Amino acid sequence: MTNCRALHVAVGVVRDDDGRILLTQRAKHVHQGGLWEFPGGKLDPGESVFQALQRELQEEVGIDVLDAQPLIKINHQYPDLAVLLDVWQVKRFSGLASALEGQAMQWVTPQQLSEFDFPAANLPIITASRLPDRYAILEGHTTQQVLGHLDKIIRNQVSLLQLRIKSLPHAEIETVYRAVWAKCRQHSIRLLINSDLPLSHATADGIHLSSRALLARQTRPKAHEWVAASCHNLPELKHAENIGVDFVVLAPILPTSTHPDAMSLGWKNMTALIEQVNLPVFALGGLNMQDVNQILHAGGQGIAGISAFLS
Ligand SMILES: Nc1nc2c([nH]c(=O)n2[C@H]2C[C@H](O)[C@@H](COP(=O)(O)OP(=O)(O)OP(=O)(O)O)O2)c(=O)[nH]1
Ligand SMILES: [Mg+2]
């Protein structure tokens, strides 16, 4: 829940043309001093987050933010201070970044982020900055249909994929997995395997827990680089956050053609739920690419979908 007395801070994830991210080091004597951070600072009275972001990045690193979109909101209670970190992804900027306040500054790859010491609130920001705004879910009734869907997903430049294939005949699952994994490696797509599939020893980039599998666990599954989970309500979201899941899919947001009568959350409940966890949340159900902007402004990481990427 948003804490009204929390210090509202605009934070920028700035990337250069090679995809490296800008980090600065906080001065020794300030709150969270000596730790590395994404540049940014407190909102002035009456300022929007975007205006504060523009001002702070001009003051701290001398760049002009031309375009930015929300990435994630973090509510964090430090022993001495509550903060609301409103983290935006800078899409376009002008000027050459330089450390205008005498602070150390570095451009680092998303992989290198884990080598730096950040304030405790920053872990989900780092995760969010390593994730795209689209998460495709691969389904299909036949091997041919699944592989056809995968080709369309690749053409739509999706870089994060869940192998779900629950509608596929059992005997075909292993063969389809092999073909999908080979294509994912070829196209640099991160692949997560749904925990309900009989593929527990298969190699992939991670595991996607069904909500049932999520609730059955008290700890994060080991030996997976990425752990995601399906959630439908606050207890599931909180459980995912508590056991250290990296990101979640929240569903269903809108009614779908396959489940027209199922209860859906709607935009308002979705926004309220996302606000209560510090996790990257993909929205799923009845959504299409035109909805991405609304999802981002509601605090979500982006859109997940089975059919959204098949056009
Ligand atoms: N900018 C930034 N602040 C962060 C991050 N993580 C995190 O916990 N914080 C906290 C530390 C501070 O309590 C607060 C940001 O305040 P700040 O010291 O940057 O604010 P400011 O730039 O307006 O500073 P000043 O003008 O008062 O010197 O948010 C982060 O990644 N970036
Ligand atoms: Mg600052």
**Helix/strand/coil (H, E, C) string of 140-197?**
CCCHHHHHHHHHHHHHCCCCEEEECCCCCCHHHHHHHHHHHHHHHHHCCCEEEEECCC
Reduce the DSSP state of residue 292 to 3 states and report it: helix
Q: Give 258's pLDDT tier (boundaries 50, 70, 90).
A: confident
Range 254-267 average pLDDT: 85
Closest atom, ligand 1, to C-alpha of 83: 29
Reduce the DSSP state of residue 82 to 3 states and report it: strand
Give residue 58 CA to ligand 1 midpoint distance, Å: 15
Q: How much is the pLDDT for 261?
A: 72
Q: Contact 305/284 with Cβ under 8 angstroms?
A: yes
Instruction: Indicate the burial class of 276 (C-beta count within 10 angstroms; 0-12, 13-18, 19 or more).
Output: middle
Give residue 76 CA to ligand 1 midpoint distance, Å: 12
pLDDT of 2 strictly over 60: no
Enumerate residues lining ligand 1, CB below 6 A. 9, 11, 30-32, 37-42, 56, 81, 83, 85, 119, 121-122
Beta strands in the chain (DSSP E): 7-14, 21-25, 36-37, 40-42, 64-78, 81-94, 105-108, 134-138, 160-163, 190-194, 206-209, 226-231, 247-250, 281-284, 302-305
Q: How much is the pLDDT for 4?
A: 61
Q: Give 222's pLDDT tier (boundaries 50, 70, 90).
A: very high
Q: How much is the pLDDT for 200?
A: 87
Q: How much is the pLDDT for 262?
A: 74
pLDDT of 38 strictly over 70: yes
Q: What angle do CA 287, 288, 293 make, to 5 degrees?
A: 95
Instruction: Indicate the burial class of 295 (C-beta count within 10 angstroms; 0-12, 13-18, 19 or more).
Output: buried
* 211-220: b (≥16 Cβ within 10 Å) or e: bebbbebeeb
CA-based R_g, the chain, Å:
20
pLDDT digits (tens, 9 = 90+) for 125-170: 999 999 999 999 999 999 999 999 999 999 999 999 999 999 999 9
Is position 122 annotated in a ligand binding site?
Answer: yes
Range 241-253 average pLDDT: 98
Is position 31 annotated in a ligand binding site?
Answer: yes
pLDDT digits (tens, 9 = 90+) for 269-308: 999 999 999 999 999 999 999 999 999 999 999 999 999 9
pLDDT of 310 strictly over 60: yes
Give the CA count within 13 Å in the CB-facing half-sphere of 228: 31
Range 28-35 average pLDDT: 92
Is position 26 annotated in a ligand binding site?
Answer: yes
pLDDT of 3 strictly over 80: no
Q: How much is the pLDDT for 96?
A: 97
Q: How much is the pLDDT for 257?
A: 78
Q: What's the length of the chain?
A: 311
Higher-scoring residue by pLDDT: 20, 2: 20
Could you give the C-alpha distances from 101 to 38, 42, 55, 57, 93, in angstroms and in order? 14, 16, 14, 11, 19
Closest atom, ligand 1, to C-alpha of 85: 29
Q: Contact 300/142 with Cβ under 8 angstroms?
A: no
Smallest-distance ligand from the CA of 117? 1
Q: Give 260's pLDDT tier (boundaries 50, 70, 90).
A: confident
- In Å, the largest CA–CA distance within the chain is 62
Domains of the chain: 7-122 (3.90.79.10), 134-305 (3.20.20.70)
Q: How much is the pLDDT for 105?
A: 98
pLDDT of 75 strictly over 90: yes
pLDDT digits (tens, 9 = 90+) for 81-123: 999 999 999 999 999 999 999 899 999 999 999 999 999 999 9
Q: Give 259's pLDDT tier (boundaries 50, 70, 90).
A: confident
Closest atom, ligand 1, to C-alpha of 78: 8
